[in-house]
């Protein structure tokens, strides 16, 4: 039977139309504007070619610094969330810990808070003079560890990364856990008989079988990291100074100035970034899948 | 309208499901279940919207059931809630409900611009109004209702009218009066340490050191809000104007540059020096301006640069502090002059509003003498820009203003300063945390001005 | 050997408890502060309130327009998630099964949306032309549209894990494509669908920028925006803000507890073939 008949394409039409009208079309229009001088002060829009892009990469505005920050943020949060997520999932997949489900639930729960609230709460917890963290450190006699968490340049960046990990790691843990639970126990039984240790089993059985899940997770983490805005905006506003500024906060600032064209140029750069990275990962997944199918 | 759209939603979904399967009887199940789901969805939607409508009609059934939207930023409304109280009175009288929509300060300008650009804004907008940036901010000729014929126009302070006027037409109404800011200090601490009011930067620094040595934070600073740290740079405008003839005019004509004002750079350097010496305390980068009230009331801090209603706020929260606060001119770069700021936020009516008459009614209501008085008594301001209502400015403040030469703050007199206020704030934070030098902050101000001018096609820059 | 095992076990338990504490503390702080007086809550700490004030919740419920905004939030979250579910399930099914040139194009075209920036001004113009700006259906459609790409990405992977033999069998039994989809595939997709449903509900529930731009009246606002507005007005009263946060979090937490089993089950099961 003909595939087109059995799986008629019109079933995809709803998603396609809705996406095309409300996401793709306005998005493309936005990208088109990045080649103009579009701003909020005049209705006369002129084509200016690559001028906005040249400015973005010329570093007169410090955008290259923002691009580096975006990359670092993505790198660190992806690594932290993935590594911690895997470790936690391994921990909860076994029977070592009492109250397994309660712990799991607690670690996942920050996921249900909006970034707005996370920002507000941590701003207050990390306040240097009366915030919970420093008060607690002093109470433990660790007063020398008390810091201005959000207002020292390097530290603020680390704080943002950690808070973001705090919020996001639970989700990654859950995904990995789901992946682990699908792996058949017979592999492990066989390995145990051969005398393989836990770490050996993890290295040679779990990780390879988990690879597709990890690719999935990485796509999610990377696309999130590149486009991060909410958590930084609500926690540090890009500050102190410009220490935690990323591409999307710069986009926001350009829009606030009324320089729409520059804003869309920056977000188009981001678009190309995310798109190319996702493309390679998706391709990797496709190749893997086809290999599996052929096997 | 709502119904139609809901149906459209349904059709979109159903169409996708039905087009192909209509021919076979077996697909009925699919279609029905989808239809059922969709019906349930729209039923919920209809129910909630009806409930909401019913609620608002019941409240306003008396006279009118119009709701006008009032868009504002956080600091556009006094925290005492006096404007909301007035709106409640207004509703009692006319049945017209005012729906306040408060947006945080930093997001407001962007949001409003986007809404205006797409023709979908609030009925009444509360906007920072000054003659230099009003047009770029809301373009009243295109977006706002001409209010020149309203009764209250003649009663408002003529000095304030230019803030809300474009090409001879009045578009807005303003309530708060002229503001000045000065250094508020704790007289007790000064007396105990045997200090006198400083007239030069050198004296000021010496005072700070002595206060710091006694274990008190000399100067309260709050950088969290993003704007307070910028005040010294631009609110010393009166001083710059004394030093350079026709400074503001020349700056606006692009005949002089910000970088020509050496004193501004000097001030930035002094600010950095004070911050490094610990005169602002340890945590000033994470403190808020509002926290100043507590720091002052508890005697943790000895000085703060603030507008004059700050004294009222401290006295209200800490009655012990009554009469213990004085003011002096902060001698950045040896400045001895007062900068006055006559501008404030004002209310404008959206030209595309469906309820222009109701909006006018509301503004007329607010402009009644008894309501002006109520507004003044409601706190947050020390005077209104309506000469018929006597100011509540303290005698010592009035005296202070008379004792020194006066001038206009820079953000009101010089173009492209106010729009970059928050950016300068970030640069100053960067300077305090060591990632920018005072000179870089200084150069950036000039650079941003040129950028804005170019963006707005300023003829003075075209040459 | 045995003592070492017991030792590891105790150590792991301790580490887990410590970790859970780190994760739960911020929420505990909020919870405790929501019962304090305004001045006590000035320092957000774990110190118990001198007097437990329940009134905070009533004040918030009244001033924060909780009931209306709660209904709105539920409406937007549930409807848009339901819409996504239907559209994405169908799309993923055919796109994954029939990898024709056109379908591949459609799939990558939609997936492209994961990276696509939202441009508010053009979007506003489009919504205005369609007459759906400032309407409830408008915001529901918008949320659905924005979240379609990532949802499709998740479900698409899952469809691949359902054996094609099932399709063959069903067709041989005389099923039409639509029947095959509704009677068989939809059931097998359940874990993935519940997952995207829960994720989308949570995503929409926590968003606050879209309503800020695309809804004009506060009686149409969802809870987050009501909270946002509330911050604006009561910035210095952390006790009220905390109570408001607790009230906003409760419903999502509930949804999560109910759907937990499926969340864990769904997301990656498609990618792992055990």
Find the CATH number of the domain harbouring A187: 1.10.3720.10
pLDDT at C90: 93
Please answer yes or no on whether A15 and C90 come within 8 Å at the CB atom: yes
In a domain, A24, yes or no: no
* Phi and psi, residue B37, nearest 5°: -60, -45
Among B375, A24, B112, which residue's Cα sits nearest to residue C116?
A: A24
Which residue range is the domain that position B87 belongs to? 67-177+343-377
Q: CB-CB: which of C82, C133, C137 is closest to B120?
A: C133
Ramachandran region of residue B56, left (φ > 0), alpha (ψ -120 to 50) or beta?
A: alpha
C175 CB within 8 Å of a chain B CB: yes
H or E stretch covering B347: strand B344-349
Contact criterion met (CB below 8 Å) for B424 and B229: no
Are B75 and B134 within one domain? yes
Q: Is the pLDDT of residue B210 over 80?
A: yes
Are B313 and B261 within one domain? yes
Among B363, B372, B417, B310, which residue's Cα sits nearest to residue B126?
A: B363
Token pair of B116, please?
Answer: 């205006």
DSSP C39: T
Q: Name the β-bridge partners of B165.
A: B170
> How many distinct structural domains can be found in chain B?
3
DSSP A201: H
Q: Which residues fall within 8 angstroms of residue A25, CB to CB, at 6 or more apart?
A: C122, C126
Q: CB-CB: which of B12, B113, B226 is closest to A237?
A: B226
Give strand ranges (E) for B383-449. Answer: 406-408
Are B110 and B46 within one domain? no
Ramachandran region of residue A196, left (φ > 0), alpha (ψ -120 to 50) or beta?
A: beta
Contact criterion met (CB below 8 Å) for C227 and C147: no
Please answer yes or no on whether B16 and A14 come within 8 Å at the CB atom: yes
* Phi and psi, residue B23, nearest 5°: -70, -30
CA nearest to C232 within chain B:
B74
Q: Which residues fall within 8 angstroms of residue C133, CB to CB, at 6 or more apart?
A: B118, B120, C124, C127, C214
**Mean pLDDT score, B228-237:** 94
| Nearest chain B Cα distance for residue C121, angstroms | 6
Buried b (16+ CB within 10 A) or exposed e, A148-187: bbbbbbebbbebbbebbbbbbbbbbbbbbbbbbbbbeeee
CA nearest to B108 within chain A:
A256
| Nearest chain B Cα distance for residue A224, angstroms | 22
| Nearest chain A Cα distance for residue B147, angstroms | 23
Instruction: Give the DSSP letter string of B148-188.
Output: TTSGGGGGS-TTTGGGGEETTEE-EEE-B--EEEEEEEEHH
Among C36, C54, C55, which residue's Cα sits nearest to residue C46?
A: C36
Average pLDDT along chain C: 83
Q: Is B436 exposed, middle or buried (0-12, 13-18, 19+ CB in 10 A)?
A: buried
Please answer yes or no on whether A30 and C117 come within 8 Å at the CB atom: yes
DSSP B435: S
**Subunits close to A (at least 3 CB pairs below 8 A):** B, C
CA nearest to A3 within chain C:
C98
Q: CB-CB: which of B110, B429, B434 is closest to A255?
A: B110
pLDDT tens-digit series, residues C161-196: 788 888 888 888 888 888 888 888 888 888 778 778
Total beta-carbon pairs less than 8 A apart between chain A and chain C: 274
Alpha-carbon span A75 to C71, nearest angstrom:
39
Alpha-carbon span B23 to B28, nearest angstrom:
10
Alpha-carbon span C258 to C198, nearest angstrom:
10
> What residues of chain C lie within 8 A of the CB of A132, using their CB?
25, 29, 44-46
For the domain C55-269, what is the CATH superfamily, name and number? MetI-like (1.10.3720.10)
A269 CB within 8 Å of a chain C CB: no
Reported pTM: 0.80
| Nearest chain C Cα distance for residue A151, angstroms | 19
CB atoms within 10 A of CB B334: 16
Q: CB-CB: which of A12, A29, A227 is closest to C119?
A: A29
Mutation target to probe the C interface, by most C beta carbons within 10 A, among A19, A84, A125 is A19
Alpha-carbon span B200 to B241, nearest angstrom:
18
Token pair of B104, please?
Answer: 């945080």
Q: CB-CB: which of C68, C87, C233 is closest to B102?
A: C233
State the sign of the Cα–Cα–Cα–Cα dihedral B410, B414, B418, B423: negative
**Subunits close to B (at least 3 CB pairs below 8 A):** A, C
In angstroms, the Cα distances linking B215 to A285, B209, B223 are 63, 10, 22
**CATH, residue B89:** 3.40.190.10
Q: Percent helix, strand, coil in chain A (nearest 5)?
A: 75, 0, 25
Which residue range is the domain that position A261 belongs to? 63-294
Q: Is C199 exposed, middle or buried (0-12, 13-18, 19+ CB in 10 A)?
A: buried
> How many distinct structural domains can be found in chain A?
1
H or E stretch covering B220: strand B217-220
DSSP C49: P
Are B300 and B426 within one domain? yes
Q: How many Cα atoms are found within 13 Å in the side-chain-facing hemisphere of C179?
A: 16
| Nearest chain C Cα distance for residue A155, angstroms | 19
Contact criterion met (CB below 8 Å) for A40 and B117: yes
> What residues of chain B lie within 8 A of the CB of A255, using their CB?
110, 114
> What residues of chain B lie within 8 A of the CB of C136, using their CB?
2, 45, 48-49
Q: Where are the alpha helices (DSSP H) in C115-237?
A: 120-129, 136-159, 164-172, 177-179, 186-188, 190-206, 209-214, 223-233
Q: CB-CB: which of A209, A274, A292 is closest to C115?
A: A274
**Mean pLDDT score, B132-140:** 84
Confidence of residue B97 (pLDDT cuts 50, 70, 90): very high
Q: CB-CB: which of C128, C179, C231 is closest to B26?
A: C179
Predicted-complex ipTM score: 0.83
Mutation target to probe the B interface, by most B beta carbons within 10 A, among C40, C88, C177, C219 is C219
Please answer yes or no on whether B290 and C235 come within 8 Å at the CB atom: yes
Please answer yes or no on whether A240 and B433 come within 8 Å at the CB atom: yes
Are B348 and B403 within one domain? no
CA nearest to A14 within chain B:
B16
| Nearest chain B Cα distance for residue A81, angstroms | 28
Are B224 and B359 within one domain? no
Alpha-carbon span A250 to A266, nearest angstrom:
8
Q: CB-CB: which of B287, B433, B455 is closest to A258?
A: B455
pLDDT tens-digit series, residues B322-372: 999 999 999 999 999 998 988 889 999 999 899 999 999 999 999 999 999
pLDDT at B441: 95
Token pair of A141, please?
Answer: 């006699």
3 state SS of B339 = strand
| Nearest chain C Cα distance for residue B46, angstroms | 10
In a domain, A219, yes or no: yes
C176 CB within 8 Å of a chain B CB: yes
Average pLDDT along chain B: 84
Please answer yes or no on whether C228 and A18 come within 8 Å at the CB atom: no
H or E stretch covering A229: none
> What residues of chain A lie within 8 A of the CB of B5, using their CB?
none
- List, as ranges, residues 179-198 from A with C-beta within 8 Å of C: 179, 181-184
CA nearest to A152 within chain B:
B433
State the sign of the Cα–Cα–Cα–Cα dihedral A256, B290, A153, A87: negative
Task: Give pLDDT tens digits along chain A (295 positions).
Answer: 577 777 888 889 999 999 999 999 999 988 898 998 888 777 778 888 888 888 888 877 778 888 899 999 999 999 999 999 999 999 888 777 888 888 888 888 888 788 888 888 898 888 887 788 888 888 888 888 888 888 888 899 999 999 999 999 988 888 788 778 777 778 888 888 888 888 888 888 888 888 877 887 888 888 889 888 889 988 888 878 888 999 888 888 887 777 888 888 988 888 888 888 877 877 776 666 666 555 4
Number of residues that this document lists for chain A: 295
**Mean pLDDT score, B184-190:** 95
Q: Which single residue is written with the structure tokens 């019962």?
A: C35
Please answer yes or no on whether A121 and C30 come within 8 Å at the CB atom: yes
Q: CB-CB: which of C95, C119, C208 is closest to A264?
A: C119
CA nearest to A134 within chain C:
C45
* Phi and psi, residue C88, nearest 5°: -70, -40
- Regions of chain C with pLDDT less than 50: 267-274
């Amino acid at each position: 039977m003909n595939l087109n008949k059995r799986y008629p394409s019109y079933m995809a039409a709803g998603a396609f139309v809705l996406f095309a009208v409300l996401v793709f079309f306005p998005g493309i229009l936005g990208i088109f504007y990045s080649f103009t001088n579009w701003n909020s002060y005049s209705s006369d829009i002129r084509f200016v070619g690559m001028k906005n892009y040249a400015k973005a990469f010329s570093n007169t505005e410090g955008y290259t610094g923002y691009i580096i920050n975006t990359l670092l943020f993505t790198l660190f949060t992806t690594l932290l969330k993935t590594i911690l997520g895997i470790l936690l999932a391994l921990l909860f997949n076994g029977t070592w810990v009492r109250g397994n489900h309660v712990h799991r639930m607690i670690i996942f729960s920050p996921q249900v808070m909006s970034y707005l609230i996370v920002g507000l709460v941590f701003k207050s917890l990390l306040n240097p003079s009366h915030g919970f963290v420093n008060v607690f450190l002093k109470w433990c006699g660790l007063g020398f560890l008390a810091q201005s968490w959000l207002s020292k340049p390097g530290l603020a960046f680390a704080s943002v990364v950690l808070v973001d990990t705090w919020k996001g790691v639970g989700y990654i843990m859950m995904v990995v856990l789901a992946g682990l639970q699908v792996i058949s126990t017979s592999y492990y039984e066989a390995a145990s008989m051969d005398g393989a240790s836990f770490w050996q089993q993890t290295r040679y059985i779990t990780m390879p079988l988990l690879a597709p899940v990890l690719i999935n997770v990485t796509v999610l983490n990377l696309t999130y990291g590149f486009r991060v805005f909410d958590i930084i905006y609500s926690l540090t506003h890009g500050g102190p100074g410009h220490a935690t500024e990323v591409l999307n906060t710069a986009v926001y600032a350009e829009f606030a100035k009324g320089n729409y064209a520059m804003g869309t140029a920056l977000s188009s750069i981001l678009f190309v970034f995310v798109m190319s990275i996702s493309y390679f990962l998706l391709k990797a997944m496709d190749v893997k899948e086809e290999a599996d199918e052929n096997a | 309208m709502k119904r139609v759209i809901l149906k459209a939603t349904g059709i979109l979904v159903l169409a996708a499901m039905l087009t192909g399967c209509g021919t076979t009887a077996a697909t009925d199940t699919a279609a029905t279940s989808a239809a059922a789901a969709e019906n349930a969805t729209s039923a919920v939607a209809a129910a909630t919207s009806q409930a909401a409508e019913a609620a608002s009609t019941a409240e306003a059934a008396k006279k009118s059931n119009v709701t006008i939207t009032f868009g504002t930023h956080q600091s556009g409304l006094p925290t005492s809630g006096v404007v909301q109280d007035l709106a409640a009175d207004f509703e009692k009288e006319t049945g017209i409900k005012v729906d306040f929509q408060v947006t945080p300060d930093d997001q407001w300008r962007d949001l409003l611009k986007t809404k205006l650009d797409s023709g979908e804004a609030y009925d009444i907008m509360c906007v920072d109004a000054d003659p230099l940036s009003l047009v770029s901010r809301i373009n009243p000729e295109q977006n706002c209702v001409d209010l020149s014929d309203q009764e209250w126009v003649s009663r408002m302070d003529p000095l304030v009218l230019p803030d809300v006027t474009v090409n001879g037409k009045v578009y807005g109404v303003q309530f708060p009066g002229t503001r000045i800011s000065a250094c508020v200090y704790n007289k007790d601490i000064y007396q105990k340490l045997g200090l006198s009011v400083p007239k030069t930067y050198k004296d000021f620094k010496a005072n700070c050191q002595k206060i710091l040595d006694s274990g008190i934070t000399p100067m309260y600073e709050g950088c969290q809000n993003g704007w307070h740290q910028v005040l010294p740079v631009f609110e010393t405008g009166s001083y710059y104007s004394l030093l350079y003839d026709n400074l503001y005019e020349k700056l606006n004509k692009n005949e002089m540059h910000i970088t020509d004002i050496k004193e501004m750079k000097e001030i930035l350097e002094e600010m950095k020096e004070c911050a490094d010496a610990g005169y602002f305390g340890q945590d000033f980068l994470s403190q808020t301006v509002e926290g100043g009230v507590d720091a002052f009331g508890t005697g943790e801090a000895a000085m703060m640069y603030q507008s004059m209603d700050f004294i009222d706020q401290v006295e209200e929260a800490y009655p012990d502090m009554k009469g213990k606060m004085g003011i002096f001119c902060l001698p950045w770069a040896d400045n001895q002059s007062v900068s006055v700021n006559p501008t404030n936020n004002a209310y404008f009516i959206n030209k595309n509003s469906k309820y222009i008459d109701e909006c006018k009614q509301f503004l007329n209501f607010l402009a009644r003498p008894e309501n002006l008085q109520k507004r003044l008594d409601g706190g947050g301001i020390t005077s209104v820009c309506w000469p018929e209502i006597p100011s509540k400015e303290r005698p010592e403040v009035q005296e202070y203003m008379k004792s020194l030469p006066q001038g206009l703050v820079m953000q009101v007199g010089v173009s492209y300063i106010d729009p970059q206020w928050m950016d300068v704030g970030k640069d100053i934070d960067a300077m305090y945390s060591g990632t920018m030098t005072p000179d870089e902050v200084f150069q950036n101000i000039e650079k941003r001005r040129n950028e804005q001018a170019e963006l707005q096609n300023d003829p003075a820059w075209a040459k | 050997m045995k003592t070492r095992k017991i030792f590891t076990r105790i150590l792991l338990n301790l580490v887990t408890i410590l970790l859970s504490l780190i994760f739960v503390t911020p929420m505990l702080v909020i919870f405790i502060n929501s019962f304090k007086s305004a001045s006590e809550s000035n320092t957000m700490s774990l110190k118990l309130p001198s007097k437990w004030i329940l009134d905070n919740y009533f004040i918030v419920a009244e001033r924060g327009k909780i009931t209306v905004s709660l209904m709105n939030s539920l409406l937007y979250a549930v409807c848009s998630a339901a819409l996504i579910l239907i559209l994405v399930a169908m799309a993923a099914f055919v796109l994954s099964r029939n990898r024709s040139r056109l379908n591949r194009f459609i799939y990558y075209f939609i997936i492209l949306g994961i990276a696509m920036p939202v441009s508010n001004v053009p979007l506003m113009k489009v919504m205005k032309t369609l007459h759906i700006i400032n309407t409830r259906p408008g915001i529901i459609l918008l949320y659905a549209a924005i979240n379609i790409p990532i949802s499709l990405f998740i479900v698409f992977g899952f469809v691949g894990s359902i054996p094609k033999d099932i399709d063959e069998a069903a067709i041989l039994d005389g099923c039409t494509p639509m029947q095959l989809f509704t009677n068989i595939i939809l059931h097998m997709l359940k874990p993935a669908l519940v997952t995207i449903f829960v994720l989308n509900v949570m995503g929409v529930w926590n968003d606050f920028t879209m309503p800020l731009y695309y809804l004009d009246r506060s009686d149409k606002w969802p809870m987050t925006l009501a909270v946002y507005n509330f911050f604006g007005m009561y910035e210095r009263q952390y006790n009220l803000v905390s109570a408001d946060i607790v009230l906003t979090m409760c419903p999502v937490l509930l949804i999560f507890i109910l759907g937990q089993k499926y969340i864990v089950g769904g997301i990656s099961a498609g990618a792992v073939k055990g």
